[in-house]
Structure 1
């Protein structure tokens, strides 16, 4: 039995019940096995952006379910990479856990993402018949970063972005093919209903009713906040034939979970179409096998990626087929020549691999020592030169969004731009008439800037300068974020989702009352369904409601760091994957743009989490840091409330009650929860062990007998 399933058993079954599992009939026919997760989970709410229109609501239950699928697919990809013995010849034996292999794989994926990101923008413009120039002095920058020296035989040239050896696709579908659509409209949102005194008073007064009534009133109070108009949000649907491979999708996913950097870079480089594209939930769901979590790119999307990059859409196959260590071409900041490609990962020479922190290499033309600090300095120097040449309308990166999340183009006269305008003026004032060379280091440039800051400058202005400089010190790539590090950090969340395995949980969505079984059972035979779906209940629905309450706290407590629970974080991550909609949601619910920082230390997070829990309980009642295991969530879906029990977490909830009374005294609902969870556990255990599956009707029969 896998360690994951052992963990689920340990944390979800009280000791006295672990040996009394119901007996469920097995089956050798795949058609008789249950489908978990139930397909209806993905149809509770629309997955495509046409159904969402131009609104900026929270993520739907179905979108969150697809997100869980995607995280499982990413987890499976990493498992395959670190277990691939053939990578010893490609990456070398570096560490026991083979984290270096995964880091090298991600580094190559980041390069492929860069080519795909720009290539999709260019293709969307072609289909819409719009210009490919983008923002003045900006769009060309990323294209230059993607260029490959003529005659180079490396597959990972330029600034680490994937080589494109073929011209733009000639046989791509005509305009309109692939579901491309511009969507416009309005949505109502009133955060004051959540954040105001009347709302808090109504939540407090609800304590006079029953527990279930209070829960319903709290949920309704949160939902009723979505009632007042905000600005139009323009969303595009990504055509299916432009869907990226899984490794590229993984990088795109991590990039968007750093929303300020993603929005700023898209605006800075003029990538307006891909920026206003909603996350392709429906296409991703169609590409993932819900049983095995394997990701299969549609043929049309695979052909597009092959034409764009001259590489296989399956990066594992690409690396194993070429059977050579991936390399990166680097342009010398001193002479401008591109030298021999260096290895991404070099286990034989310390500092010889691009991934090494102390990476160094000598330029074969001029002998200059090239390191990452020098490349970061060159990135900053080039942008300063471009800023000065482009005229007064040009702006430095990370100065294109104000605190409310509005772009400079939306309202350039707003007083909220004071700090960002100060930074742009500072760069112009400091470097106009100054010639920067490769000998000017990052520290030197920073010192020049700080020396020109007046003594009485507000702290917000200097903080804005720090933000801008961080986009250059983080990575020498064209992005404002170290995408390799972002993917690696994000995997801790992926691992947590893999441990919880919510996508297989019996409490994932709500179910109708048990007395519906007799009337509905016959109708469900064709669907092999284990759940009579109730779209207004279930773990994911509760998580979405809690997320709305969590975001309302940002307006109630301005300037205070707030930390989400794991279930709220899942919904928050899902929201950030549609950047334009997320910005509108932030303005409406929080009154300002809320960034997502995954680099904060544990101590700071713990203190902020304690504050968040107290604020949430005061505003909405209930337990904030609740247990979200299979049993507890299934119990809540069954109408039981684990919060009512006293004692420690291990004895709180329905299983504390059952444990104390003994199995013979457990009620009908307790038995229903136990039977459902035992059935789901056994299905999962058999799936992983490759054993014969259970008959889907066995659950109904066991519930009937109970």
Structure 2
């Protein structure tokens, strides 16, 4: 790999910058385009999500207690779902209306001299509301607070319900998926294992204390074309009828704008009132009453629920980073995730060898760590075996401390394994890494005589693949027909 990098990666990075500049200037890629959805390329490849035990030589060495490539890939999908949901909320004008966040233009009077009339006159113009865009961002914390209130109701109701997979005494597994807002809160809570475990013990949530995110079912609920999350009809029916929880908080908040008596409850919530009053008779439907009661309970428990809101807020930065790298759309996503799992296994070994040190992960290692944390029981058992103790994932640590410990973790990683810790994780470099692994498995290639020739061919192939995958994603984001090759 080191022999390959100096000669070719620089040109790949330059090609990437050229492609992106052209794309920003409405450059048209020289590809045919799909005429309908059935012709569109499927990215990521469905083969990534077979959830079968690894069989290739690279993955076979990875232990069964670690996350799989498929689980990490679904995690990448789920992070895109969360990113898309937040953008939808922030950009929704309908949600602006529901929360009564509206622009307030000002009429400005200006005195000016008219040379034609030879006198001073008063003119008026409408000034833009400069606070509107910042006020629109208030929707996100309001949405999160309601999502946490729904999560608290969901987790307690679900824990006592008898719809779990497995026999009595077996590891619990959910059969029915939660709404996306509830899933987002649950996901962020799992990333703080000590806090989550304490919460479950405090509230007697023995099943949920052990339950893991159902990756296969989550994948089946995600549309990878637009990163929407769609619950099966039976799951929606169960949520509505059994625990009186609307299947989609976003759609519920949009509908509220059409019902003045329900909107009043929402506006009282937004105003910060500690006590929210409503008339059950005026609410009318069972669904409206359930929503009003939820809003009332959420406001009453706001202080207790605040840490759960903060959990989700802290994950926003990580989700944005994952969206920026967008590995799930990369031609090398399988290799990226597989290598990340291998690096994570080494990362866990550092906890055992340096028990008094705080380890800070790279972005790819952190993805696998987060995926591992989403199975609390497996994570606990795995860390006891690998690190000799339970290791908490504390995402509340400050930046300066993390930066210092990141550098020291890199030093320990190099000492322990003789490998570079911080590596470039862009599409180009990851595609090169996957291609060079393929070359290394080819016994017919003479390392000394044929490697450079082979490497040049691989670089050209990588550049072609990355350019095409990038063209597909740019077209997707611009709402254009997807290119074919």
Instruction: Using the TM superposition, give the Cα deviation of residue 595 of structure 1 relative to its aligned residue in structure 2, in angstroms.
Output: 1.0
Aligned to 2:97: 89
Q: Is the 8 A contact 2:51 2:216 kept in 1?
A: no
Cα deviation 1:406-449 (Å, max 9, x = unaligned): xxxxxxxxxxxxxxxxxxxxxxxxxxxxxxxxxxxxxxxxxxxx
- Paired residue total: 392
Structure 2 distance, partners of 1:325, 1:110, is 19
Aligned to 1:622: 419
Query: Structure 1 pair 587/665, CA: closer, same or farther in 2 (3 Å)?
Result: closer
Q: Which structure 2 residues correspond to residues 363-374 of structure 1 after superposition, within 5 A?
A: none
Aligned to 1:501: 326
Q: Is the 8 A contact 1:91 1:345 kept in 2?
A: yes
Aligned to 2:310: 485
Q: What do you get for the CA RMSD once the two structures are aligned?
A: 3.2
Structure 2 distance, partners of 1:630, 1:12, is 13
Aligned mate of 1:24, from 14, 31, 35: 31
Aligned to 2:447: none
Aligned to 1:692: 481
Aligned to 1:674: 463
Aligned to 1:434: none
Aligned to 1:104: 142
Which blocks of at least 5 consecutive residues in structure 1 are unaligned?
A: 1-8, 48-54, 128-178, 185-233, 329-341, 347-352, 355-359, 364-473, 510-537, 642-660, 699-706
Aligned to 1:315: 249
Structure 2 counterpart SS, 1:594: coil
Cα deviation 1:653-703 (Å, max 9, x = unaligned): xxxxxxxx9xx99810110110000110111122222323223xx2xxxxx
Does residue 236 of structure 1 match 2:236?
A: no
Query: Structure 1 pair 677/83, CA: closer, same or farther in 2 (3 Å)?
Result: same
Q: Which structure 2 residues correspond to residues 117-128 of structure 1 after superposition, within 5 A?
A: 117-124=155-162
Q: Is the 8 A contact 2:67 2:368 kept in 1?
A: yes
Q: Which structure 2 residues correspond to residues 200-215 of structure 1 after superposition, within 5 A?
A: none
Structure 1 counterpart SS, 2:138: helix
Cα deviation 1:129-151 (Å, max 9, x = unaligned): xxxxxxxxxxxxxxxxxxxxxxx
Instruction: Using the TM superposition, give the Cα deviation of residue 311 of structure 1 relative to its aligned residue in structure 2, in angstroms.
Output: 4.0
Aligned to 1:181: 166
Aligned to 1:266: 200
Q: Which structure 2 residues correspond to residues 332-371 of structure 1 after superposition, within 5 A?
A: 343-346=268-271, 353=272
Query: Structure 1 pair 301/12, CA: closer, same or farther in 2 (3 Å)?
Result: farther
Aligned mate of 2:232, from 298, 309, 314: 298
Query: Structure 1 pair 26/579, CA: closer, same or farther in 2 (3 Å)?
Result: same
Q: Is the 8 A contact 1:325 1:344 kept in 2?
A: no
Aligned to 1:584: 381
Query: Structure 1 pair 11/72, CA: closer, same or farther in 2 (3 Å)?
Result: farther
Does residue 611 of structure 1 match 2:414?
A: no
Instruction: Using the TM superposition, give the Cα deviation of residue 10 of structure 1 relative to its aligned residue in structure 2, in angstroms.
Output: 11
Aligned to 2:41: 34
Query: Structure 1 pair 15/36, CA: closer, same or farther in 2 (3 Å)?
Result: closer
Cα deviation 1:309-328 (Å, max 9, x = unaligned): 43421111111212255859
Instruction: Using the TM superposition, give the Cα deviation of residue 264 of structure 1 relative to its aligned residue in structure 2, in angstroms.
Output: 1.5
Structure 2 distance, partners of 1:546, 1:71, is 21
Structure 1 distance, partners of 2:183, 2:14, is 33
Q: Is the 8 A contact 1:12 1:629 kept in 2?
A: no
Q: Is the 8 A contact 2:190 2:373 kept in 1?
A: yes
Cα deviation 1:10-66 (Å, max 9, x = unaligned): 96735577779984333314333321000001115369xxxxxxx961110000000
Aligned mate of 1:275, from 201, 209, 225: 209
Aligned to 1:57: 65
Structure 2 counterpart SS, 1:344: helix
Q: Which structure 2 residues correspond to residues 524-539 of structure 1 after superposition, within 5 A?
A: 538-539=335-336
Structure 1 distance, partners of 2:378, 2:159, is 19
Structure 2 distance, partners of 1:12, 1:289, is 33
Query: Structure 1 pair 116/56, CA: closer, same or farther in 2 (3 Å)?
Result: farther
Query: Structure 1 pair 321/33, CA: closer, same or farther in 2 (3 Å)?
Result: closer
Q: Is the 8 A contact 1:586 1:594 kept in 2?
A: yes
Structure 1 distance, partners of 2:166, 2:405, is 41
Structure 2 counterpart SS, 1:310: coil
Structure 1 counterpart SS, 2:172: strand
Instruction: Using the TM superposition, give the Cα deviation of residue 87 of structure 1 relative to its aligned residue in structure 2, in angstroms.
Output: 2.8
Structure 2 counterpart SS, 1:622: coil
Q: Which structure 2 residues correspond to residues 388-403 of structure 1 after superposition, within 5 A?
A: none
Q: Is the 8 A contact 1:546 1:568 kept in 2?
A: yes
Instruction: Using the TM superposition, give the Cα deviation of residue 271 of structure 1 relative to its aligned residue in structure 2, in angstroms.
Output: 1.1
Q: TM-score, normalised on structure 1? A: 0.52
Structure 1 residue runs of 4 or more that deviate by more than 6 Å after TM superposition = 9-12, 16-22, 360-363
Cα deviation 1:192-229 (Å, max 9, x = unaligned): xxxxxxxxxxxxxxxxxxxxxxxxxxxxxxxxxxxxxx
Aligned to 1:248: 182
Q: Is the 8 A contact 1:502 1:630 kept in 2?
A: yes
Q: Is the 8 A contact 1:235 1:278 kept in 2?
A: no
Structure 2 distance, partners of 1:10, 1:485, is 40
Query: Structure 1 pair 14/27, CA: closer, same or farther in 2 (3 Å)?
Result: closer
Structure 1 distance, partners of 2:312, 2:34, is 41
Q: Which has the higher helix share?
A: 2
Q: Is the 8 A contact 2:150 2:245 kept in 1?
A: no
Structure 1 distance, partners of 2:251, 2:190, is 26
Aligned to 2:290: none
Aligned to 2:154: 116
Structure 2 distance, partners of 1:22, 1:570, is 32
Query: Structure 1 pair 265/597, CA: closer, same or farther in 2 (3 Å)?
Result: same
Aligned to 1:13: 15
Which blocks of at least 5 consecutive residues in structure 2 are unaligned?
A: 1-10, 55-62, 102-130, 278-300, 439-451
Query: Structure 1 pair 118/555, CA: closer, same or farther in 2 (3 Å)?
Result: same
Structure 1 distance, partners of 2:64, 2:332, is 27
Instruction: Using the TM superposition, give the Cα deviation of residue 236 of structure 1 relative to its aligned residue in structure 2, in angstroms.
Output: 2.0
Q: Which structure 2 residues correspond to residues 543-582 of structure 1 after superposition, within 5 A?
A: 543-582=340-379
Q: Is the 8 A contact 1:119 1:308 kept in 2?
A: no
